[in-house]
Amino acid sequence: MQKIVGLTGDEAVAYAAKQSSVDVVAAYPITPQTVIVEQFAQYVANGEVHTEFVCVESEHSALSACIGASLTGARVFTATASQGLALMHEMLYIASSLRCPIVMAVANRALSAPINIYADHSDMMGSRDSGWIQVYAEDAQEAYDWTLQAFDIAEKDNVMLPVSVNLDGFTISHSMEGISVLEDDAARKFLPPRPISYIVDPDRPITIGAGNNPEYYFEFKRQQEDALRRSSKAVLETARKFGAISGRKYGVLDTYGLEDADVAMVGLGSCMGTVIEAARRLRKKGAKVGAIKLWLYRPFPERELLRTLEGLKSLVVLDRSCSFGAPNGALCSDILSTLYSTNLKLKISNVIYGLGGRDMTVPMIEAIYRRALRQKKQPLKRDVRFVGVRE
């Protein structure tokens, strides 16, 4: 059984965290994430959850507290954005290397300076190699669904890694939708109490995070990489289990119109709904275009992505962040690396869009598709464009 509730993206994440029987939340407010922890604090104050809410003096302290709580066996949640995530940066690596299955919502927001409170992906892309599993939501419904799934993924015994659930600031965080939510009993059945393997316990002392010399450090990092690679399978397992109770299909990616497409567009987050609408309109006019929405960004879904690219002539990669001084944006670089050892000869173009919350409209996307259709037979060359910016 499910019910429809009007919630913003932030409220939907808080509601999912409430249904996840979280033991500890440590957080510091920052726009556009603040509503998540405000709403959860209200649940605590009302007695709707039995959660220890830790008010801290900074985001660095928030994640530090989360790490300590997670190491005692607690189910832990936090949320942040932009400069807050940047302040956490040191602790992101510690959380993943200590194998803490923390779930963190990130209401993606541009990094300063100048100060900007609106959406782009520069915050999480700056931390993309910190060892966290990373998923991106297109809308508030997906933000709710992925938050529930994130705990199940993170806490699997063969994973034990933190997960960030990314939702575009304001576009998702502050936009209200009718969200189909599970009944509390169904959520508890989907997500039973956290299984505990190794915890900090004075009665059974273990060493965690001690100094490590060259003789052993490398092995720890290799184990992290192996666990992150395994988590791709865990995402699929959790998606199947969640689909059985929700009726909603998830995985590592989703596609539209690829059955006969010559040109496709791939990206992350809220823009993909607009991309699919533009593709739908063009297909009605006979254009062979499609779309690929990545739900999972880390670990990068190489095998699944390659299967979707077969038969395409051209691929447009959307990056909502700028990798300053690099040949391409972060997502495009990952895709080019994935294609390097294959026989797929796609024309790849990279579009940098939406920095600081700037809109990417259906007409703009249609124009990008048309350009790609015109150029699909031209020789391969570096093609990076900034779309929607005043020159």
Nearest alpha carbon to residue 278 among 331, 316, 328, 249: 316
Instruction: Please write the tens of the pLDDT for every residue from 139-161.
Output: 999 999 999 999 999 999 999 99
Q: Where are the domains of the chain?
A: 2-246, 253-386
Query: What would the mean pLDDT of 184-200 be, rounded to a whole number?
Result: 93
What integer pLDDT is reported at residue 380 of this predicted model? Answer: 55
Instruction: Please write the tens of the pLDDT for every residue from 347-378.
Output: 999 999 999 999 999 999 999 999 999 986 66
What integer pLDDT is reported at residue 341 of this predicted model? Answer: 87
Q: How far apart are CA 364 and CA 369, in angstroms?
A: 9
Query: What would the mean pLDDT of 67-84 be, rounded to a whole number?
Result: 97
Of 34-38, 195-199, 297-301, where does mean pLDDT reach its minimum?
195-199
Cβ neighbours of residue 39 closer than 8 Å, sequence gap 6 or more: 10, 11, 14, 15
Instruction: With cut-offs at 50, 70 and 90, classify the pLDDT of residue 49.
Output: very high
Instruction: With cut-offs at 50, 70 and 90, classify the pLDDT of residue 57.
Output: very high
Position 382 pLDDT exceeds 90: no
Position 383 pLDDT exceeds 90: no
Position 94 pLDDT exceeds 80: yes
Query: What would the mean pLDDT of 46-66 be, rounded to a whole number?
Result: 98
Of 108-112, 133-137, 339-343, where does mean pLDDT reach its minimum?
339-343
Mean pLDDT over each residue of the chain, to the nearest integer: 96
Position 331 pLDDT exceeds 70: yes
Question: Could you check whether the bond before residue 205 is cis, i.e. omega within 30 degrees of 0?
Answer: no
What integer pLDDT is reported at residue 298 of this predicted model? Answer: 98
Query: What would the mean pLDDT of 308-333 be, rounded to a whole number?
Result: 96
Query: What would the mean pLDDT of 39-45 be, rounded to a whole number?
Result: 98
Q: How far apart are CA 13 and CA 35, in angstroms?
A: 10
Position 391 pLDDT exceeds 90: no
The pTM score is 0.97
Position 38 pLDDT exceeds 60: yes
Partners of 336 in the β-ladder? none
Percentage above 90 pLDDT, the chain: 91
Note whether 2-246 and 253-386 share their fold.
Answer: yes
Query: What would the mean pLDDT of 299-313 be, rounded to a whole number?
Result: 96
Q: CATH for 2-246, among 1.20.1050.10, 3.40.50.970, 3.20.20.105, 3.10.180.10?
A: 3.40.50.970
Domain 253-386 in CATH 3.60.15.10: no
Angle at 25 between CA 12 and CA 194, to 5 degrees: 90
Instruction: With cut-offs at 50, 70 and 90, classify the pLDDT of residue 199.
Output: confident
Position 120 pLDDT exceeds 60: yes
Instruction: With cut-offs at 50, 70 and 90, classify the pLDDT of residue 137.
Output: very high
Query: What would the mean pLDDT of 72-84 be, rounded to a whole number?
Result: 98
Query: What would the mean pLDDT of 228-255 be, rounded to a whole number?
Result: 98
Query: What would the mean pLDDT of 81-95 be, rounded to a whole number?
Result: 98
Instruction: With cut-offs at 50, 70 and 90, classify the pLDDT of residue 381.
Output: low
Identify the burial level of 389 via C-beta atoms within 10 angstroms of its C-beta, where 0-12 means exposed, 13-18 middle and 19 or more buried.
exposed
What integer pLDDT is reported at residue 390 of this predicted model? Answer: 84
